[in-house]
Structure 1
Amino acid sequence: MSPQQSMTPELHNIRKAIRANYLADEYEVIHRLIAEAQLSDDARVAISARAADLVRSVRGSARPTIMEKFLSEYGLTTKEGVALMCLAEALLRVPDNLTIHDLIEDKITSGNWGAHVGKAKSGLINSATLALLMTSNLLKDSERQSVGDTLRKLVKRLGEPVVRTVAGQAMKEMGRQFVLGRDIEEAQERGKAQEARGYTYSYDMLGEAARTDADAQRYYQAYSDAIDSISKRCEGDVRTNPGISVKLSALLARYEYGNKERVMNELMPRALKLAQKAAAANMGFNIDAEEQDRLDLSLDVIEAILSEPSLKGWDGFGVVVQAFAKRASQTLDWLYALSEKLDRRIMVRLVKGAYWDAEIKRAQVMGLSDFPVFTRKACSDVSYLACSKQLLGMTDRIYPQFATHNAHSVSAVLELAKGLGRDKFEFQRLHGMGESLHDQVLEDSGVPCRIYAPVGAHKDLLAYLVRRLLENGANSSFVNQIVDTSITPEEIAKDPIDVVKTLGHNLSSKAIVHPSKLFGEQRRNSKGWDITDPVTVEEIDEGRNRYKSHQWHGGPVLAVEPASDEVVEVRNPANPDDLVGHITYASEADVSAALDAAQDGFKQWSALSAEDRAELVRKVGDLYEENVHELFALTTREAGKSLLDAVAEIREAVDFAMFYANEGVRYKDAGEALGVVCCISPWNFPLAIFTGQILANLAAGNAVVAKPAEQTSLLAVRAVELMHQAGIPKAAIQLLPGTGATVGAGLTSDARVNGVCFTGSTMTAQRINKAMTEHMEPDAPLVAETGGLNAMIVDSTALPEQVVRDVLASSFQSAGQRCSALRMLYVQKDIADNLLEMLYGAMEELGIGDPWLLSTDVGPVIDENARKKINDHCQKFEQQGKLLKKIKVPEKGLFVSPAVLQVSGIEELEEEIFGPVLHVATFEAKDIDKVVDAVNAKGYGLTFGIHSRVDNRIEHIASRIKVGNTYVNRNQIGAIVGSQPFGGEGLSGTGPKAGGPQYVRRFLRAEVVHKRSESSNKVLGADKVQKLIDKLEKAEVPAADRRKEALRPWFKNVPAPLDLGYEEMPGPTGEQNHLSCHARGTILCLGPDAESAVEQAGTALSQGNKVVVIAPGAEKALADAIKAGLPVVAADGVIAPDALTQLEGYAAITSVAEKPLLKQYRQALARRDGALLPIITEHKLDQRYVIERHLCIDTTAAGGNASLIASAE
């Protein structure tokens, strides 16, 4: 019988309450808990007084642990503390000497260890500090070359192995403070001393969640063996016997709500077997608490296990409840009701909670309506107090275990438990922490105390160690405060209810941004849908099921009556039997009629104020959210997207609406709208990119004629209908579904079009560019985002579990059909075998099939042509013996096996394979620069990933890689609008970045004064100009901070350098998002006269470019600037347009010549192979002379969010 079937009305109602309080309002929850706690003023005063006495007593005992002393010296507010945390997290897993040295140098030399020498009260800590100071000095290179420096370098060479050994030993010793033993036998032996003093133990097998089935089997065996070993020491009362703690996430690689069936069929029986073994030994068996999105699932597992008749009469089954969760009290109610129903007695360990920072970040990233946890420490403390009272009223069924290092919490429990026997509950502490406090309590009260003791090898302790450092290193932590004598005992023992009441309605922490306010007051964050939440999933399913068999019918959406009659069937790529609907393709006549109507549409739309346009654009986003269930269904059935991807798709489209609406207002005085813009969008983001292109142009005041991808035209029809429903005039946004040959070619070769916005292949972009040069104005913009050969470098400091998680997402999510997807993985040779083995195991856990199902990770590819191309590519590698891994897929539907292929490097890849295919190569640590060079040499520049803990190495790689978006210690997909502007360079696009500050500006017309070309007998051919370009190869560009000063003597108007620093973009906590500008390279300034050429050169140079100036009189005009050593060369005359086709080594041209000559220039540029080079006519607009790059760093990768925890209130 399943838990759901066995549920009584009471249990059912409590589960509903648990779900309802998932994201409840913090103020309401806390004041309900205060009311339920019903603590008298006298009781609260007594609790605080006893807590203050405990603090004094603990301080007087002068027996803090090594770790408590360490944390008092190196907290999270010190740079040194964070550096040591990062070092501790990575050092012990690094196998190669070069990387060990780089890691130690990176973390140690950056610290100001001298400030800590002799400050600590522990001789050991002072000795360690002195060693770190000496290490730091040894590793630092001095600029002075003297005898002393020579000796230092000699010591450095001799000392490196010593440094490595000392640092390694220090980390192991630190680990010993937290880990009781390397295996269960050693742990039990070490625990005897404390047992002799009256303590008992609960053992925890170290390790993170399973990534593969092999992991899960290994963890299961470790638990089973530990139970066998512990059982030998069990006798009599379960409460006095040792116990074990079990993580459910260790028993199944995919312990997730979407895999509920597997959880109940595979994980639950494994956990039950372990529980039965524990019951046979009469020992405690605790199910550990995990992330809040797994709580509902864990309750199902707990109910199923506890309902097992074979466990009747055993009182050792335990559950951990986290007080920082807003639904902790309801969870306790449910456990009590379940115990009553089943006539059982259970144990409940009450903890404050772990990974609080991750819960905060997740809610922000997902755009949830609130946080699942309290944002203030005082609120968590109040919850702990209320839950303690609740538990102490349930002792007929529950044996409470109060796990805390907080004197106030301990004091509160003792006060609330007056009148209860000492055998009715126990305290718990972590091994290595809170010893003095619990020694005191054990001595004074006689209440038993259990030590929660981690067990495991050094390599497994890293993540655990860092969490303890993080959670106890914050200034607000009791463990930190108790050794800080500047804080009075009364301050430490302050009543959290008083703190909460003082705050009034301003309860949410000001240090934490609400998910809806992630982008400030100027725009709201898009609404998120949490598909791990049963209530949300039920609501989504109820809504989208109405469209499960629905058929849509669409065609051209025009301001005039369409004249088309070609109707095409649309079928679900996951299931050819599912007829999604029919689409009518536009004819040539429709294209012409749409462009005629668009001229009137432009006049009508551009006449509105920017503010009025913005309001209507925002309304589109609102309507998307109101119609989300239909859009979810259509995105899945037409485009083959999973629900996870469908949610992201709709959210991105809404973000575009909100962001571009504001941008349109921001740029309202920056220039006139272009006119009519053609938007051509791809099938892989059929709503997000489609919407972004259109709304950016509408916000700018342009009229749009849009051509969607043939494969996803129904979604485009529905989107445009919603745009019209929002109030945007029909003539301002028209839709022309159809083929590239009819619609695409027609639109991109029509003089009535004033600009083109395109996302698709590089080859198609080049074809469009050529067509535009023949038929449109020479300065008509082409904003193209094209493909990429995206790489990731993984060095030996990276955590394999994180790498595998991110590689899976980057390579296989969306069936690899993202332009940002990872195609080329470089793994340091020293760790490659183990990492790839883990990757292959994790691939086996992927759910492949119908994207409608929540359990599906990888859906179909878009059509038969795509499937054939991907399969042919993989087959070629398989025949060469280079297929490393391949996953089985369903036979029906357009599915492709996720595959890993072996290559020597990116040089072997001729083009992007747009599917779930990952190529892998290895490299030596010393050859990282060669890898970067190889990636740059391919000419693509879209996304790039780095997994490393060495900050200097990350900075070095990021500074050299030529890509638009670099991601550090995270996946490289899913750029967020306004936070991570997206777009590439080179063969990957023209810029500016979508969702960035320059995008809308590009669709406005800058003022350009065209000048007649001065007559010149001197026409410069390719050879002459190439020599000029080559001459600049070694020229040095003035540094950004002194460039303006260097240019002013020679140029009238010198804009400020845009490449000076970076712009910090808004985003979730635990992430850095930096947008920076970089010089394009060498720019040809073609005047056409000396005055305009010099002006162009000044702007180009101001942005860090090198400049070749060709115009009559240029040599004389620039003679002094050249003599001053600036990176500029000049030649009198004019360039032959054809020379532009043959030249190499330049990045753009700029000219304000009359349109016939500009047209020749643009046609010549379009005949070039390779990247699309711009012709810049807005020569005073400095943004046109730079490219944008974005760097996103997950700052929590080393184990947690130090800055957020340090700022916790």
Structure 2
Amino acid sequence: MVTSASLSPYETKTQEIARQLISATREHRSFFAQMRDQMRWDDKMLGWAMSNPGLRVQLFRFIDCLPSLHSKAEIARHLQEYLGNEIVELPGALKGLLGFASPDSMPGQIAATTVSTGVEALAHRYIAGETMQQVIKTIERLRKDRMAFTVDLLGEAVITEAEAQSYLNRYLDLLAQLTEASQRWSTVEQIDRADGEDLPRVQASVKLTAFYSQFDPLDEQGSQEKVSDRIRLLLRRAKELGAAIHFDMEQYQYKATILTILKQLLMEEEFRDRADIGITLQAYLRDSIGDLKDLITWAKERGTPVTVRLVKGAYWDQETIKAVQKDWPQPVFNDKEATDANFEAMTRLLLENHDYLYAAIGSHNVRSQSLALAIAETLNIPRRRFECQVLYGMADKLGKAIADRGYRVRVYCPYGELIPGMSYLIRRLLENTANSSFLRQNLEERPIEELLKAPVLQPGDQVSEIGVQKTQPHTPHPTPHTPFTNAPDTDYALSSYRQEVRQALQQVRQQLGKTYLPLVNGEYINTVNYVDSVNPSNPSEVVGQIGLLSVEQADQAIAAAKAAFPAWKRTPARERADILRRAADLMEQRRQELIAWMVFETGKVVKEADPEVSEAIDFCRYYADEMERLERGVAYDYPGETNRYHYQPRGVSLIISPWNFPLAIPTGMTVASLVAGNCTLLKPAEVSSVIAAKLAEILIEAGIPKGVFQFVPGKGSTVGAHMVKHPDVHMITFTGSQEVGCRIYADAAILQPGQKHLKRVIAEMGGKNAIIVDESADLDQAVQGVVQSAFGYSGQKCSACSRVVVLEPIYDVFLARLVEAVRSLNLGPAELPGTKVGPVIDANAQARIREYIEKGKLDSEVALEMPAPEGGYFVGPVIFRDVPPTAVIAQEEIFGPVLAVMRAKTFDEALEIANGTNFALTGGLYSRTPSHIDRAQAEFEVGNLYINRGITGAIVARQPFGGFKLSGVGSKAGGPDYLLQFLEPRTVTENVQRQGFAPIEGAD
């Protein structure tokens, strides 16, 4: 536990040094400098951002978008869209600048030039140069001020293997050029030598994950092999040149894998004696002090120190939002003071172990740096083992003040073009303008006592030395009114979960080949006919043998359901809901096992199967809550009468489920029907019947009574069609192809002899989903989103992207990156952790997809056709370019890894193309143009529209799922209307008057 630093033996010296440093950083500027700054638009923008939170958000969004705008008219138009129209209150100067009538006008041109020039000036404050020549000049200026450097290449998103190789090559070139330049530099004793030892003059900072585009903690071994090969090349070349390499730390999901890879690599004989290598730790992580202790133990064994750069951390907002969205424990501290307290504890631990690890203290907080200096001076730490670090353009005066005390100061110098550097610039702007920023507080000249107060951890912000551990198991809702929360997906960044899923795959493989029988009236019954369900990655491997129901047995099942209905109808909703909650808990307990069954039976990779288990759990818990809400009904009472609006179940319900979501969709449809009080028959797709049998086991174990739920696998063309037409079936819920869905809809509409009701049909029938990418889009984000949406689960999701409509100005650039990103995907058996694209479901699907590919070649050009692995039902991803909107592959649902890329000249045309099919399921837009986002929300004809994110992976309650037109009929699954389809509404009115009087509520 971290306690107040005021108890530290270093506190008195820390305060003394800090006051001296603050004094040095608060030197008064000259009157002329202040007047000059008043004329600079970059200063004005920073000032506005500090004083107006609403303007800050819009301004930074505009800055984020700016590099993608290629004309002054576009810049002017976006300025008005982001900052005009009374979105935020503007300062007078900015309001006057934006008062132009047309973006093409001269005032519009002036506004665009003024603001873009200001933003460029801001960027140059924090970016050391856009070319190597500029960087070298910056470095030489720093060296004159006795400051060392480390250079970082801007551009964090490596999404193709070509980019990963380019990243390595660019660093090799950077090291060579900097080394050549360094030969001209005269020695600066303070930074080039320490304790009689020459130090590397050149240092580069690299991001380990950028060496492999498919880096994934789940595929720890594969990622390690790919990354390590490239790191070895870099380290060998650095040694030849006499340069040092430092590894930055990245997002939390990669942290444990990065540390594992580096610790193993640096123990290799070739690198074990290298002291010119560094590793970064982030103090805003709750488990970071544990990581530091592990590194100390490791370094003692290694025998040669490495440098640990200690920083606060740069992704706090991102880490916090991701944890909330995923329902995971927050890996970062909740507030700045807690991070500062942990930073001080780690600083002390690191410096007190200077025999084993060298320290690089990276902070712009005067107190944080002063504590490090106090410890260094108290312990008389040799100069080789300690340095301070600051970011280029931030805390320049602090860096100079520390250098003036004789310490080695290293400046982190980002270098590169504005576009890849924009995310870096936004982080720096956020840091500089945040209320909690030390730089801002010091600029505002807060009282020194306030600035130098020792930070402490608050209750609830304790550190963890063993990492953020598993989430707590979900507990059933104690009352009907407890808010619904989604089940968290598995965080495979944690090694314990990776081990669990590996064990589950091994255990399930031992269970393959068993027989699964229909469940009728509470008993498993033998059948005449059986079918093998096989592993699509390896069809010779039988996952299970399925007993197929006969027509006569189907009649028995329907009769049993009819007989069980009266009692189930009378069962209180709370009892039915609690069964669903028990089923959800059982699914959570069996999560990794269920994942393994999906991997083997339907070829779904682990990271696609895991969210499906979460979705199935969510359906159980959400519909349980919803049914309790609906059971309360609505009362409309008037004097002399009562009116009650309530619901009753429909009767016998038939569920016909698909194979592409073999657990979540049958679970959602089945439990919705059951909790509403309907007796329910589940007929799964033949190729995913083993997983459906596992669902049946869970529902029976959860307590579903005999006859209420029945598992009825059978041939869709015979038994399925017979049950659809049966007069005792009240409703059919179907997910699958348009052809079968329309046939069910037609058959269900025919009144059968003895039938006294009209059947209700819910049918979700797929889509031909499009993503629009306009010229203002973040292309890193857009390419990754399209790749995942189009090729996740081999394009076999009803929500999958099968068309991408790209605006002409960026068409070629987008297509080139898209092709390389898809080329970089790993194809193979679903059970391999590195696989991103597995098999399609069966031989029929494989043949059908190949037919569509051949049709596509008749009127479109192939941009990429990847070879398919041998041995399974594999189809390599295919991308067609310049596809006509009327082409077969642009109109018909293919349900495979085939993507049509289409060109649009205007946003109007893009919307017209996107809407130009018979489907209306999902759609997406990547854009940073507010008017385009507004128009898509109003005009994009889809049931689920996703903006600036992938279009698959709807989450229960957050994104209720379903479409219209020929994509289906019915309310959205996972939404507040869904259960109403399984219920009949009733109104009961009672006249409560008796002989002229009526009870009056509240009367004595």
TM-score, normalization: structure 2?
0.88
2:123 is paired with a residue of what secondary structure? helix
The alpha carbon displacement at 1:657 in A equals 0.6
Matched letter for residue 335 of structure 1:
L
Residue aligning to 2:568: 605
Aligned to 1:553: 515
Matched, 1:812 2:791: yes
Match in the other structure for 2:776: 797
CA drift at 1:575: 0.2
> What SS class does the counterpart of residue 166 from structure 1 fall into?
helix
5 Å-filtered alignment, 1:933-944, equals 933-944=912-923
- Answering whether residue 225 of structure 2 is matched by residue 249 of structure 1, we say no
The Cα shift of 1:779 comes to 4.5
Q: Is the 8 A contact 1:422 1:447 kept in 2?
A: no
- State the aligned residue count: 937
For residue 844 of structure 2, what is the aligned residue in structure 1? 865
Q: Tell me if structure 1 keeps the 8 A contact 2:768–2:891.
A: no
Does the CA contact (< 8 Å) of 2:284 and 2:333 recur in 1? yes
Q: Structure 1 residues 884 and 283, CA, compared in 2 at 3 Å: closer, same or farther?
A: closer
- Give the corresponding residue for 2:997: none
Cα distance change, pair 240–539 in 1 and its aligned pair in 2 (3 A): same
Corresponding position: 1:163 with 2:163 = no
Pair 1:975 & 2:935 matched? no
**Cα distance change of structure 1 residues 891 and 922 upon mapping to structure 2, 3 Å threshold:** same
The residue that corresponds to 1:752 in the other structure is 728
Of 519, 522, 533, which aligns to 2:483? 522
Instruction: Give 1:502 deviation, angstroms.
Output: 10
| 2:595 counterpart of 1:632 | yes
SS in 2 for 1:500: coil
What are the equivalent positions in structure 2 for 1:98-497 lying under 5 Å apart? 99-110=74-85, 115-117=90-92, 130=93, 132-138=94-100, 152=101, 157-232=105-180, 233=182, 237=193, 239=199, 241-311=201-271, 314-368=274-328, 370-417=329-376, 418-421=378-381, 423=383, 424-443=385-404, 445-485=405-445, 487-497=446-456
Partner of 2:992 in structure 1?
A: none
* Conservation of the 8 A alpha-carbon contact between 1:209 and 1:249: no
For 1:279 and 1:451, locate their aligned partners in 2 and report how far apart those are by CA, in whole Å. Answer: 22
* 3-state secondary structure, aligned to 2:491: coil
Question: Is contact 2:73-2:104 (8 Å) kept?
Answer: no
The one-letter amino acid of 1:719's match is L
- CA deviation vs aligned residue, 1:139-166 (integer Å, no higher than 9, x gap): xxxxxxxxxxxxx55x962333333333
1:955 aligns with 2:934: yes
Contact 2:681/2:710, CA 8 A, preserved across alignment: yes
- 1:887 corresponds in structure 2 to 866
* Corresponding residue of 2:800: 821
Query: How much does 1:489 deviate?
Result: 3.2
Shift of 1:116: 3.3
Please report how far the alpha carbon of residue 930 of structure 1 lies from its aligned counterpart in structure 2 after TM superposition.
2.7
- Please list every run of 5 or more consecutive structure 2 residues that lacks an aligned counterpart in the other structure: 465-470, 634-645, 989-1004
Q: 1:177 to 1:723 in 2, by over 3 A?
A: same
1:21-100 maps to which residues of 2 (within 5 A)? 31=1, 33-34=2-3, 40=7, 43-44=10-11, 47=14, 51=18, 54-55=21-22, 58-62=25-29, 70-75=45-50, 78-95=53-70, 99-100=74-75
Find the residue that maps to 2:348 and give its secondary structure: helix
Supply the AA of the counterpart residue of 2:248: D
Classify the secondary structure of the residue corresponding to 2:969.
Answer: coil
The answer for the alignment partner of 2:714 in structure 1 is 738
| Aligned residues of 2:543 and 2:601 also touching (Cα < 8 A) | yes
Counterpart of 1:1099? none
Q: Determine the C-alpha separation between the residues in 2 that align with 1:530 and 1:553.
A: 33
Classify 1:523/1:505 alpha carbon distance in 2 versus 1 (closer, same or farther; 3 Å): farther
Q: What displacement does 1:504 show?
A: 9.4
- State the Cα distance separating 1:716 from its structure 2 match: 0.9
- Residues 1:518 and 1:728: Cα distance change in structure 2 (over 3 Å): closer
Aligned mates of 2:472, 2:16 — CA distance in 1: 36
1:537 aligns with 2:516: no
Give the C-alpha shift of residue 206 in structure 1: 1.1
Residues 1028-1067 of structure 1 aligned to structure 2 (within 5 Å): none
In structure 1, distance between residues paired with 2:453 and 2:704: 58
Q: What does residue 900 of structure 1 align with?
A: 879
Query: Any stretches of 5+ residues in structure 1 without a counterpart?
Result: 1-30, 118-129, 139-151, 507-512, 1010-1209
User: What corresponds to 1:592 in structure 2?
Assistant: 555
Residue 783 of structure 1 pairs with residue 759 of structure 2? no
Shift of 1:808: 0.9
| Superposed CA offset, 1:165-186 (max 9, x none) | 3333222211101111112332
Q: CA 1:112–1:900 in 2, change beyond 3 Å: closer, same or farther?
A: closer
* Partner secondary structure for residue 285 of structure 1: strand
Alpha-carbon contact 1:552-1:714 (below 8 Å) kept: no
Q: CA deviation at 1:415?
A: 2.8
Cα deviations across residues 1043-1082 of structure 1 (Å, max 9, x unaligned)? xxxxxxxxxxxxxxxxxxxxxxxxxxxxxxxxxxxxxxxx
* 1:919-956 deviation digits (Å, cap 9, x = unpaired): 111111xx212332333342311101000001221011
Secondary structure, counterpart of 2:920 in structure 1: coil
Matches within 5 A, 1:996-1075: 996-1007=975-986
Kindly provide the amino acid, as one letter, of the partner of residue 557 in structure 1: L
Task: Give the corresponding residue for 1:695.
Answer: 671
2:902 pairs, out of 906, 911, 921, with: 921
Alignment partners' CA distance in 1, 2:549 and 2:88:
71
Tell me how far apart the structure 2 counterparts of residues 48 and 881 of structure 1 sit (CA, whole Å): 71
Show the counterpart of 2:658. 682
Whether contact under 8 Å (1:76, 1:82) holds in the other structure is no
User: Any idea what SS the aligned residue of 2:856 has?
Assistant: helix
- TM-score, normalising length from structure 1? 0.74
CA distance in structure 1 between the aligned counterparts of 2:122 and 2:861, rounded to whole angstroms: 44
Question: What do the CA deviations read for 1:23-80 (whole angstroms, capped 9, x no partner)?
Answer: xxxxxxxx2x44xx98626744764675466446533445999878754431396222
Alpha-carbon RMSD across the aligned residues, in angstroms, is: 2.8
- SS at structure 2 position matched to 1:796: coil
| Structure 2 letter corresponding to 1:373 | V
1:68–1:479 contact (8 Å) kept in structure 2: no
Q: Distance in 2 between matches of 1:250 and 1:544?
A: 30
Query: Cα 1:68–1:389, aligned 2, differ >3 Å: closer, same or farther?
Result: farther
Q: Using the alignment, how far apart are the partners of 1:462 and 1:650 within structure 2? A: 37
Q: Using the alignment, how far apart are the partners of 1:357 and 1:813 within structure 2?
A: 27
What whole-Å deviation, never above 9, does each CA across 1:1154-1202 have from its counterpart, x for those lacking one?
Answer: xxxxxxxxxxxxxxxxxxxxxxxxxxxxxxxxxxxxxxxxxxxxxxxxx
**For 2:205, what is the secondary structure of its paired residue?**
strand
Separation (CA, whole Å) in 2 of partners of 1:56 and 1:521: 54
Greater shift, 165-174 or 699-708, is seen at 165-174
Task: Determine the C-alpha separation between the residues in 1 that align with 2:207 and 2:249.
Answer: 8
Residue pairs, 1:552-591, within 5 angstroms? 552-559=514-521, 562=525, 564-591=527-554
- Give the AA of the match of 1:490: E
Distance change >3 Å, CA 704–CA 863, structure 1 → 2: same
Distance 2:27 2:474 in 1: 48
The 1:616–1:79 alpha-carbon spacing in structure 2 relative to 1, beyond 3 Å, is same
Q: Secondary structure at the match of 2:255?
A: helix
Partner of 1:1142: none
User: Cα distance 1:515–1:977, how it changes in 2: closer, same or farther (>3 A)?
Assistant: farther
**Contact map agreement 1:848 1:857 (CA 8 A) in 2:** yes
**One-letter amino acid of the counterpart of residue 589, structure 1:** E
Q: Contact 1:679 / 1:706 at 8 angstroms: preserved in 2?
A: yes
Structure 2 residue aligned with 1:651 = 614
CA contact (8 A) 2:284 2:332 kept: yes
Match of 1:713 in 2: 689
Between the two proteins, what is the percent identity of the paired residues? Answer: 30
Residues 535 and 541, structure 2, Cα contact 8 Å, conserved in 1: yes
- Structure 1 pair 113–744 and aligned structure 2 pair: CA distance change class (3 A): closer
Does residue 500 in structure 1 map to residue 458 in structure 2?
Answer: yes
